[in-house]
Amino acid sequence: MSTNHIRQKGIKTPDASEIKSQCESQTPQQTQERETQLWLCQAVTAIQYRFFDADNYRGKTCDVRIRQPEGEPPVSI
């Protein structure tokens, strides 16, 4: 598993395995946070699905901007 993480403004974000682990370990008291994590899992999976050879992109970065009104699906990526 890669130790590379997506970084935004110097903040470490979880890699796919950490996100999956978080998604699977949420408690009922963390419903709102769980919804966010599930959405993040879906977004990461959709992005990774389009990288047929992830090794070609290892170590590279990009900015992803997602606009999503509260309680609605994304309107632009």
Q: Which residue has the higher pLDDT, 60 or 29?
A: 60
Q: Are 9 and 16 in contact (CB under 8 A)?
A: no
Mean pLDDT, the chain, as a whole number? Answer: 72
CB 15 within 8 Å of CB 2: yes
Confidence of residue 7 (pLDDT cuts 50, 70, 90): very low
* pLDDT > 70: percent of the chain: 69
- Residues 15-25: pLDDT tens digits? 777 777 766 66
pLDDT at 59 over 80: yes
Sequence letter at residue 36: T
Cβ–Cβ < 8 Å for 67, 74: yes
Residue appearing with tokens 């996100």? 19
| Residue 33 C-beta-side C-alpha neighbours within 13 Å | 10
| CA–CA gap between residue 27 and residue 34 (Å, rounded) | 8
Domain ranges across the chain = 12-77
